[in-house]
Every structure is written in C-alpha cells, then in structure tokens.
C-alpha cells in the first residue's frame, strides 16, 4: 500500500477515492475516525490520507489525481437532446429529465 493523497476535507478525500474507483483503482481512507482524538494517536494519524491498495497502480493514480483534482479541465455546458435543457459540462446526465449526455 502507498499513500497517494492527503487532504483536510473528508468530502474531497472521498471524492478522490471515488474517482480512483471509477478508474478501477482500489483505495482506502486512513485516519477518518481518529481525527477527533487529535494527537493522542500521534501526529502522523491526525491527517486524512488516501492510500492505494496495489502499489502497481501508483503511477496511474498519481496522474488521475493530478489531472482531475488538482487541475480539473473545464468543460462546456451542453443541451439535452431530449428536453433541450442546458446542463453544466460536468454533468453526464440531464439534471431535468435524467437523459444521458
């Protein structure tokens, strides 16, 4: 196992975990439940960390984290072909009628 990402916000960390899962990379969040106990468990255990399970996925995971979390690519809005509603570029489904992009 290798540490791939650290962030103070648990929601951001779980977003990173979900992005890796969408790319078939297994990971786990470390220290999620020890934060309230503070330094009692040691300074290294105070930070939220994302670890990848398989070391061979490290390079691919690093690239994904860099591209999608650190520097996300802006995407253009799109119009739904079914209901003509304008959707944010990050949406894969129409927010109004749930039709796929």
Q: Name the pairing type of β-strands 27-30 and 86-87.
A: unpaired
Instruction: CATH number of the domain at 37, please.
Output: 3.30.70.1530
Backbone phi, psi, residue 47, to 5° = -105, 140
Strand ranges (E), the chain: 2-6, 27-30, 49-52, 78-79, 86-87
**Same domain (yes/no): 16, 64:** yes
Q: Total structural domains in the chain?
A: 2
- The domain in which residue 44 lies consists of 2-70
pLDDT, tens digit, 9 for 90 and up, residues 13-31: 899 999 999 999 999 998 8
Q: Are residues 46 and 91 in the same domain?
A: no
Measured CA distances, 97 to 19, 75, 94 (Å)? 25, 20, 6
Q: pLDDT per residue over 84-99, tens digit each?
A: 999 998 899 999 999 9
Q: Does 45 lie in the same domain as 19?
A: yes
Are residues 45 and 28 part of one domain?
A: yes
Q: Are residues 56 and 82 in the same domain?
A: no
Shared domain for 8 and 27, answered yes or no, is: yes
Q: Does one domain contain both 58 and 24? A: yes
Tens-place pLDDT, residues 55-69: 999 999 999 988 888
- For 33, list phi and psi in degrees, rounded to 5: -105, 0
Total length of the chain? 101
């Amino acid at each position: 196992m290798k540490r791939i990402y650290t962030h103070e916000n648990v929601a951001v960390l779980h977003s990173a975990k979900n992005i890796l899962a969408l790319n078939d990379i297994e990971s786990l969040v470390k220290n999620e439940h020890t934060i309230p106990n503070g330094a009692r468990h040691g300074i290294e255990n105070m930070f939220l960390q994302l670890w990848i399970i398989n070391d061979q996925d490290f390079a691919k995971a690093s690239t994904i984290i860099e591209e999608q979390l650190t520097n996300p690519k802006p995407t253009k809005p799109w119009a739904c072909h079914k209901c003509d509603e304008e959707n944010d570029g990050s949406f894969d489904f129409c927010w109004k009628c749930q039709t796929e992009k």
